[in-house]
A and B are shown apart, each in its own frame.
Chain A
Amino acid sequence: MARIEQHPIVRRDWKDPFTFTFAGRPVTAYPGDMISSALFAAGLRVFGHHPKDGAPQGIYCANGQCAQCLVLADGLPVKACMTAVQPGMSVEPVDGLPTLPSRREVGVMREAEVRPVAVLILGGGPAGLSAAIELGSRGIDVLVVDDKDRLGGKLVLQTHRFFGSTQAVFAGTRGIDIGARLEKRVRELAAVEVWLESTALAVFSDRVVGVLRKDRYVLVRPQMLLVATGAREKSLVFQGNTLPGVYGAGAIQTLVNRDLVKAADRLFIVGGGNVGLIAGYHALQAGIDVVGLVEALPECGGYKVHKDKLARMGVPIYTSHTILSANGVDGVESVTVAEVDAKFRPIPGTETSFACDTVLIAVGLDPVDEFLRAAKEYDVPAVAAGDAEEIAEASAAIFSGKIRGLEIARSLGKTTDEVPEEWRTMGEILKSRPGPSTSETVPSDEDSVIPVFHCSQEIPCNPCTSVCPQKLIAIDEADIRRLPQFLGAVTGRECVGCDSCVAICPGLAITLVDFRKDREEPMVTIPFEFGESRLHAGDRVTVLDTVGEPIAAVAVEAVRRSDRTLLVKVRLPRTVAKRAAGVRMQESWVGDPLPQAVERLGDDAIVCRCERITAGEIRARIRAGLRDMNEIKTVTRAGMGACGGKTCTALIARLFREEGVPASEITENIRRPLFIEVPLGVFAGVEEEAL
């Protein structure tokens, strides 16, 4: 593992390195590193061993949700992924139960501050920030609470250009840049206060929200609560699923795109939704080999353009396949996958293994909705926006935050503005699932310059329409899910070959074919997002069609830069020029399987990560007739651990389904505060400075 010193999209200053220790060994870190990132950069992925069975522990979510990355920082237990490393800090692995440091005295104890506010927004991501802008610009007193050290939520991990509507949600702009824009606007609003590194702990029945503000406990009393807490990743049960090296997509994206740590050398992806597809692309940008991707469904659920993009980079995509095991002792060494039948059961004899050091799990998201549920139960006026309300794209979250913001402003009597009907329509369009794929329509023109849209699936996206100086690209304004049309023939105007549409397309799905100089060997412009160090004029490249099939091997004529996208010019025979969609990034041998499938023995498909309860233990209880998740918790401890059932609850529900138990027979387990673990001294208001 190492730092990504040159990332094609993200810049980070590598200044002022300092040293801390892990298990007594010196480790280098940079200002802003979380403990986990610095350890990863040093190649350390095992942070300790579980007290129950000695299983190696490390990050899983890298997002403060699970509790698997526990370490002792200067003697105190902390989540490595949420704690900034400090110069000289002594970090120790947790092997077994930590020892509570002895202490003779406590200093002064303060009363917790009570903070009234008009609107409390939990989460400073796309939805929360958009709502804060709507509210704050109307002078409404808003407090935004976010557990990270910067605003933007998951936008800070999104290095790709966004889909959606250019007019409504900054489509065509990279997620990281959208985050920066939203933050800038929020910071300009005097009515909006932002608390970073602050976590909501519970919504209490006395209509108070307990917030851990850095190391202080504050009781916030909002008139309205907006839950914009986003989503948490679903997990998956398979042998070896908690080995260091098995991570959520967000964890890899955080390490790679936020912290610029090359989190893996060889990555295997489970899940072909947008999250898995995009994370694969991000991994490639970070210089990580992506060995393959499995998707249990017969088709990837994510946008076709994302899938095609990944396939064109040379990543094999195995649909109707599932993961059987992650193999290794102290970390992942290989992964074993198999084809599945129509009922998603692995087909014996189809097992295949691939060497890899990391498995990325991207099997869907669940709303972080505990605060909304509690608020509803306790009659705290509350609404949700973004993924906390409904899982969809970040562009939809931006728009839903905007709508909720205006609705709240209205309900507080601060505006009479109605939410325009177009907003609601756009909100729904942005949330829509991708439509069926059709075949690409290729313009017949072979005299001038023409854009080719390698885009044959209806998704909400229109940036290409906004950049054409000739206004030659059109998408139905009433429904931006429609496919783009080239209006050359209709208008009589000619494409000037400016490449703007090629550069802005979030799917990297537009090429420009220029027949003007050479009708037989037109110049094709292909987008490339892997940085100038990876491709130069004169390099020989393999040109691929939309789905990644090679069509020619040629030398690059020229490379042009547009923002951080490279525009690669190649000359191709007329017969294939319009099919060209990308240049191969990753050599095909990267995806070669191992000669023999690896079988992982033993029952370590873990359902409850915190207490290390296996699927076998839970299944046995279900088969014994248990139907109350609370009773399963009583007898197995599943859900009693540090995270409070954040990952295992959905997995247990899934095991019930697999066992054929109807949902009507199941009693859900009761979720209780706190959202994260917080020291007693914080609740007591102990003034550490006074000691």
Chain B
Amino acid sequence: MTREAYDVIIIGAGSVGVPGAWAMARDGLSVLVIDRFASPGQGSNKTAIGGIRATHSDPAKIRLCLRSLEIARTWQEAHGDDIEWTTGGYSFVAYSSREENTLKDLLVIQEQHGLDIDWHEPRELLGIIPALRRDGLHGGTFSPGDGHCSPLLFGHAMYEQAKAAGARFRFGETITGIDVVSGRVRGVVTDKGIYDAPIIVNAAGPWASEVGHLLGMEHPVRPDSHEGGITEPVAHFLGPMVVDIRPAPGSANYYFFQLATGQIVFCVTPSPSLWGFDRRETSAFLPMVAKRMVDLMPCLTNLRVRRTWRGLYPMTPDGSPLVGWSREVSGYLMAIGMCGQGFMLGPGLGELLSRVVRAEAKPEDEEILSILSPHRAFAGQEALK
């Protein structure tokens, strides 16, 4: 059994844990990240499709994602690795007044936050996305500053940077206990060692509740699964991430975009939700999503699907993340319940977490933390998740 001491231990080397470790290590903290999988990002991070947008409706997510966007956009310049970043924008399309109204209502809030997003009439929108079905198109929003990259390459590049900054990672280790003395965390016990730290960060994604149970706590996080897929690569024809929020049997919405390498990546939000940890493929997904996609964009009829998978969305009662210190156990910091947006929130959130553990949160951080407080009352649902 090894016994090592750190400033911070992060549980989970995924979408949140890796950028968190990177930020903290950069900021001079000694950090250990422990993950049950064999390498970084093997939980939910690798099932992310890679979109990053600031065009949310909640100021906390908007601010975190604006920072994530900046990190992703400038990554190659700053660090040299090509993460296949593409500033292709996001477009939410409307084929009925219902979606048109929803999107236009949201625009008001989004514009209040200074986001670069506009409503486009059909003609203009078809100029941006020529392959869209024309008949019935009411128009849609387009936010040109949003974009996408390879979640695999971005996640791994941040992991390499975190290691270079001094963060330590232990893979294939399962946390079996969290050591608490007089109401303060003192470290963790895994199946392979004991590690001490005065601060423990829960960044365990869909498994966040299991970590909570080790402390006798109930976190209101439970996963549901979303199925995704990727096609063969074809020459570039699609700029933005296209989001269709029309509900249809089996799905609440779906979205897709073209990677820099030419493949279309697509994903649905199942309706009703598929609760639980089951990530096994079902036969229902492909026919359902294919019908919706070829209906929206007829040219996709001849595009071949290469692979499918299912990823877990760690959901909270109101669809917003839970970030903040525990009131019951001091030194226990939660960064959980990303509701499927851990990949895009992660880089911005990682920096925030570093400021939080160093007790250097700025006033605007405090505002984010108050919105994402794990102690909040779960009243509403965010309009666009």
Contacts and interface: CB of A to CB of B under 8 A. Distances in A.
A635 B153 contact: yes
B306 A644 contact: yes
A87 interface: no
13 contacts: A100-B303, A103-B302, A377-B280, A627-B38, A628-B38, A634-B41, A634-B156, A667-B39, A672-B281, A677-B306, A679-B304, A683-B286, A685-B291
Interface stretch (B20-28, B90-98, B227-235): B227-235
B287 interface: yes
Contacts of B134: 104
A630 B38 contact: yes
Contacts of B71: none
Given A105-B298, A205-B278, A628-B42, A100 B234 contact: yes
A206 interface: yes
Contact of A685 (B287, B298, B303, B305): B287
A673 B235 contact: no
Interface stretch (A91-99, A183-191, A542-550): A91-99
B294 A674 contact: no
Q: Which 10 residue pairs are nearest across A and B when measured between Cβ atoms? A: A681-B301, A205-B280, A683-B290, A631-B39, A677-B304, A628-B39, A667-B38, A628-B38, A684-B290, A204-B283
Given A628-B42, A684-B291, 6 more contacts: A202-B281, A204-B281, A627-B38, A678-B305, A679-B303, A686-B294
B378 interface: no
A101 interface: yes
Contact of A106 (B38, B39, B295): B295
A631 to B, nearest CB: 4
A380 to B, nearest CB: 11
Nearest to A221: B283
A109 B295 contact: yes
A112 B289 CA distance: 13
Contacts of B41: 634
A679 B295 CA distance: 14
Interface string B242-274: 000000000000000000001000000000000
Nearest to B130: A102
Interface of A: 51, 75-77, 96-106, 109, 111-112, 202, 204-206, 208, 210, 217, 219, 377-378, 626-628, 630-631, 634-635, 642, 644, 667, 672-674, 677-686
Given A97-B234, A631-B39, A106 B301 contact: yes
Contacts, number: 155
A206 B282 CA distance: 6
A683 B287 contact: yes
A217 B295 CA distance: 17
A100 B281 contact: no
Contacts of B17: none
B262 to A, nearest CB: 5
Most B C-beta atoms less than 10 A away, residue of A109, A631, A642, A678: A631
Interface string B99-143: 000000000000000000000000000000001001000000000
B152 A634 contact: yes
Interface string B129-165: 0010010000000000000000011011000000000
B305 A680 contact: yes
A103 B301 contact: yes
Given A77-B232, A77-B304, A106-B301, A206 B284 contact: yes
Contacts of B233: 51, 97
A210 B308 CA distance: 13
A205 B46 CA distance: 21
A111 B249 CA distance: 13
A287 to B, nearest CB: 38
A207 B31 CA distance: 45
A112 B284 CA distance: 10
Contact of A680 (B153, B236, B294, B307): B294
Contacts of B235: 96-100
Contacts of B302: 75-76, 100-101, 103, 679-681
Nearest to B266: A680
B75 interface: no
B38 A684 contact: no
Given A102-B131, A674-B307, A680-B305, A210 B286 contact: yes
Contact of B298 (A98, A103, A635): A103
Contacts of B282: 204-206
Contacts of B301: 103, 106, 679-681, 684, 686
Given A673-B307, A680-B293, A680-B301, A208 B283 contact: yes
Contacts of B152: 634-635
Contacts of B298: 103-106
Contacts of A219: 283
B147 to A, nearest CB: 20
B287 A631 contact: no
Contacts of A678: 304-305
A630 B152 CA distance: 10
A672 B309 contact: yes
A339 to B, nearest CB: 39
Contacts of B37: 628
B291 A109 contact: yes
A79 B246 CA distance: 36
A324 to B, nearest CB: 33
A634 B289 CA distance: 26
B275 interface: no
A378 B305 contact: no
A196 to B, nearest CB: 21
Contact of B306 (A99, A634, A674, A682): A674
A631 B283 contact: no
B299 A672 contact: no
B76 to A, nearest CB: 15
Contacts of B308: 202, 672-674
B300 interface: yes
A642 B306 contact: yes
Nearest to B306: A677
B17 to A, nearest CB: 15
A218 B293 CA distance: 19
Contacts of B294: 106, 109, 680-681, 684, 686
B40 interface: yes
A201 B236 CA distance: 27
A624 to B, nearest CB: 10
B287 A112 contact: yes
Most B C-beta atoms less than 10 A away, residue of A100, A210, A635, A673: A100
A638 to B, nearest CB: 12
Contacts of B46: 630, 634
B306 A631 contact: no
Contacts of A634: 39, 41, 46, 152-153, 155-156
Most B C-beta atoms less than 10 A away, residue of A51, A204, A377: A204
Nearest to B41: A634
Contact of A684 (B131, B155, B281, B287): B287
Contacts of B284: 206
Contacts of B236: 97
A98 B263 CA distance: 11
Contacts of A97: 233-236, 262
A101 B302 CA distance: 8
A111 B303 contact: no
A528 B287 CA distance: 55
A168 B308 CA distance: 43
B303 A631 contact: no
A672 to B, nearest CB: 5
A673 B282 CA distance: 11
B283 A206 contact: yes
A647 B280 CA distance: 24
Contacts of B303: 100, 679-680
Nearest to B301: A681
Given A99-B235, A672-B308, A683-B290, A630 B299 contact: no
Given A630-B42, A631-B40, A674 B305 contact: yes
Contacts of A682: 290
A672 B307 contact: yes
